[in-house]
Amino acid sequence: MTAKPIYVLNGPNLNLLGEREPHIYGYTTLADIEANCNRTAAAAKRGIVFRQSNHEGALVDWIHEARREGDAIVINAGALTHTSIAIHDALKAFSGPVIELHITNVHRRETFRHHSYISFAATAVIYGLGVEGYHVAVEQAARLAAEDRVK
């Protein structure tokens, strides 16, 4: 049986990585991150579906798609992390591992960033590792998905 892909979903403004607030997020672009995620997934003998949207509904639709087509989800929902019950509910309907990801340490930032609706639906949370967090998240999503298949 062929392993299903890992969905790597990115929310609002992540298309501006490398340009927006580089003193916080660095100069690595989302395209660079996608290339690195592809390498990490390939090393784990996995594919990825890598997407970004500034629209909440698109993320919900992709989570629904992942229920049929994917084994795991890595999600950096950006600001929607702190506001979206719809994304939370969609993730709760996903049966595989969900890794919530943030480039920065959200607990060293504004207070409103300390609350996450996604954490309630996540298997694990990674934050503060910079863009390297994507590598760790994809690696761990592949490991957790493989463990789920063995059960």
Which residue in the list 25, 117, 127, 134 is annotated as catalytic? Answer: 25
With CA atoms as reference, report the closest residue to 12 among 56, 74, 48, 61: 56
With CA atoms as reference, report the closest residue to 103 among 72, 82, 134: 134
Dihedral pair phi/psi, residue 122, rounded to 5°: -90, 145
Could you confirm whether 25 is annotated as catalytic?
yes
The sheet with strand 124-127 has its strands ordered as 48-52, 6-10, 72-76, 98-102, 124-127
Distance CA 41, CA 35 (A): 10
Distance CA 32, CA 130 (A): 13
Which residue in the list 88, 102, 127, 134 is annotated as catalytic? Answer: 102
Active-site residue numbers? 25, 102
